[in-house]
Structure 1
Amino acid sequence: MRDLASAWRSAARGAGATADDHAVDAEGSALLARWAEPHRHYHTLEHLATVLSIVDEEADRAEQPDLVRLAAWFHDAVYDPHTPGDGNERASAELAVVSLVSLGVPTPAIDAVRRLVLLTAGHAVQVGDADGALLCDADLAVLASHPAAYDAYAAAVRSEYEFVPDAEFRAGRAAILRRLLELPALYRDPDLAERWTEPARANLIRELGALDH
């Protein structure tokens, strides 16, 4: 796995953090600890690394790529499967504000990161929002995985919600899949959309069919 500590430091500095190296590294270590929590099965360091890799590969699409990177760091930083609705995203966004304020990141950059984190609750991106499009495309990349990898992802999500009765989980998961299928576009970048939309939709439809039976 890539050197995530260095990636964090680079993104924080790129966003304008003025705190000393010790403070920046301490915030990064705290985030890494969150992503490594034992109750996580999909929303893990591996997911974070994957999202960051895609953001790096597609960085020329972004207006402010370091802010997209920071939003990737925070987008699932708070992750409690017991939390209803978009509570995790809202808590993650507020954590981003507190953390970035402490590091001296300029207020406009903090506001942008907060907005981007909140976008990952529904992945509904407005036309012309290049930074939001990149973050959401990277976050949803797993949907276009090879069927076996997709099934492993779906199983990992189920493990995170092992406390939820099966019928209730099926209904909730099916509702999420339907919302994804109803998005105007799963992916915004034309090249990614061309490569990823068909396999992603096939995976979603296949899982939805399994949940409905």
Structure 2
Amino acid sequence: MKIQEECKSRFESLIANFIDTNSYFANSLWEEIETRYSEPQRTYHNLNHLYQMLGEYDLVSKELKDPEITLFALYYHDLIYDVTSKTNEDESANIAKERLSVLKIENERIKTCMEHILATKSHRLGDRCHPDTSYFLDIDISILGSEETKYYEYANNIRKEYSIFSDADYQTGRVQVLHHFIENIRLFHTDIFFDRYEMRSRHNVKLEIHSFLKGELI
């Protein structure tokens, strides 16, 4: 309950700058987020994920050019999550656009929010990306730098989300994703997250890949 209450409280504080938080629309905004992130098939991309990201966001919020928009991106980036779909990020970004437009947020700021969300497709930066996008991507994958036991829990929760796939198919897809991360010179774009999580993240990712080679899941 603490996690749900904290996520709700932080969201209400965010939208209080734009709308009466006691209004029906304000309540509907949170209810939509809570309902989506509480879908039964979500064993990782749920409110726990948002809560963990909020903790990482707090560590770097003072470094951000537009912390409000980064926080909106945090709440909306996985609003749509279907493991069989390739348009989750696009759909989530479009919903964020609609909701922020009703809040009368400037178009350029809305575009930045969408940019943050869409960047999670590849977790790579474009040539002219907003400076906060690098922080947002690092916040999103900070779980990779967890202590081993927490990483094991994360890896197993991801497997549960893909339970409709066979072990063989899941292994192929998951290893591809993990290699996508470690083939980069650095997993983390910002020095703050690089110094904090890079070495441990590489260790964890390689450990997971090795577990698949042994025919097991860590």
1:1-213 equivalences in 2 (<5 Å)? 1=3, 3-14=6-17, 17-18=18-19, 21-22=22-23, 23-84=25-86, 87-126=87-126, 129-213=130-214
> What TM-score, normalized by structure 2, do the two folds share?
0.89
The whole-number CA distance in structure 2 between the counterparts of 1:129 and 1:98 is: 20
The whole-number CA distance in structure 1 between the counterparts of 2:196 and 2:8 is: 31
Using the TM superposition, give the Cα deviation of residue 130 of structure 1 relative to its aligned residue in structure 2, in angstroms: 2.8
Using the TM superposition, give the Cα deviation of residue 121 of structure 1 relative to its aligned residue in structure 2, in angstroms: 1.4
User: Structure 2: where are the runs of 5+ without partners?
Assistant: none
- Kept after mapping to 2: 8 A contact 1:77/1:92: yes
* Letter paired with 1:42: Y
Using the TM superposition, give the Cα deviation of residue 212 of structure 1 relative to its aligned residue in structure 2, in angstroms: 2.8
Using the TM superposition, give the Cα deviation of residue 20 of structure 1 relative to its aligned residue in structure 2, in angstroms: 6.6
The whole-number CA distance in structure 2 between the counterparts of 1:40 and 1:206 is: 24
Deviations 1:72-103 (A, max 9, x none): 0011110111213xx11111111111221222
* Letter paired with 1:119: A
- Kept after mapping to 2: 8 A contact 1:64/1:131: yes
Using the TM superposition, give the Cα deviation of residue 5 of structure 1 relative to its aligned residue in structure 2, in angstroms: 1.9
- Kept after mapping to 2: 8 A contact 1:18/1:104: no
Q: Which stretch shifts more, 120-129 or 36-45?
A: 120-129
The whole-number CA distance in structure 2 between the counterparts of 1:122 and 1:72 is: 16
- Kept after mapping to 2: 8 A contact 1:61/1:130: no
> What TM-score, normalized by structure 1, do the two folds share?
0.91
- Kept after mapping to 2: 8 A contact 1:51/1:72: yes
Number of matched pairs: 209
Using the TM superposition, give the Cα deviation of residue 10 of structure 1 relative to its aligned residue in structure 2, in angstroms: 2.4
Using the TM superposition, give the Cα deviation of residue 70 of structure 1 relative to its aligned residue in structure 2, in angstroms: 0.4
The whole-number CA distance in structure 2 between the counterparts of 1:141 and 1:42 is: 13
Give the secondary-structure state (helix, strand or coil) at the position aligned to 1:58.
helix
The whole-number CA distance in structure 2 between the counterparts of 1:191 and 1:109 is: 24
Using the TM superposition, give the Cα deviation of residue 13 of structure 1 relative to its aligned residue in structure 2, in angstroms: 4.2
- Kept after mapping to 2: 8 A contact 1:170/1:212: no
The whole-number CA distance in structure 1 between the counterparts of 2:160 and 2:31 is: 26
